[in-house]
Amino acid sequence: MTIQKLFANFDNYLPLDEQERDDLSKRVVERRIKRRQFILQENDICRHYTFVAEGCFRKFQVDKKGVEHNLQFAAENDRPAARWIMEIDSFYAEKPSRVYIEAIEPSVILQISKPDLLHLFMHNPKFDRNFRVIIENRFVELENRVLQAISSTAEERYVTFLDQYPNLSQRLPNTQIASYLGITPEFLSKIRKEISKKQVNP
């Protein structure tokens, strides 16, 4: 069952007992999402924390020139915290979202609304602790991205991407990875060739 994947996700932090699992089960909604379907669009309010049970999503922003910039990915076989995706500022402040969240593949998600999340926080401190760790991990990921943008080469950023998303490099098209790295798909192909040469002739 899909809910079991969510329970397993929390097992990486503070595992839930039967009562907590039952309460959580009553407060999540399962949705099946088509490829290229949005679960959040710019200027909408982010109403849910989303857990990716199957498939893959990207969070991106579109600049004034219409260019898309990938900010984050979330996939079913990713690290525990990286299976969650949302727009934090929009969710808590109920401000218009500055980003889009789109399915890259057909996906299955579990969503928790703000009222249900607050209920979980108020009635069991374990949920507050688990979600805090998830958000902290996502914040660290974002902070590292900012530092890399300042001080790392494109090749170094790509190597970090491979380490951070080891299962996505073969699933995502070059255009999506290049957008995340802030380079062109052609330059990404060049970097991949250079890395391959180094592996053959270290």
Kindly report, residue by residue over 153-195, the tens digit of the pLDDT. Answer: 999 999 999 888 888 888 899 999 999 999 999 999 999 988 8
Beta bridge partners of residue 16, listed in sequence order = none
Please give the residue range of the domain that contains residue 112.
2-151
Residue 190: CB atoms within 10 A of its CB come to 14
Number of domains in the chain: 1
Residue 193 in any domain: the answer is no
CA distance 194 to 122: 52
For the chain, percent of residues with pLDDT exceeding 90? 79
- Which CATH number belongs to the domain containing residue 64 in this structure? 2.60.120.10
Query: In the structure, what pLDDT confidence band is assigned to residue 75 with cuts at 50, 70 and 90?
Result: very high
Residue 111 in any domain: the answer is yes
Residue 181 in any domain: the answer is no
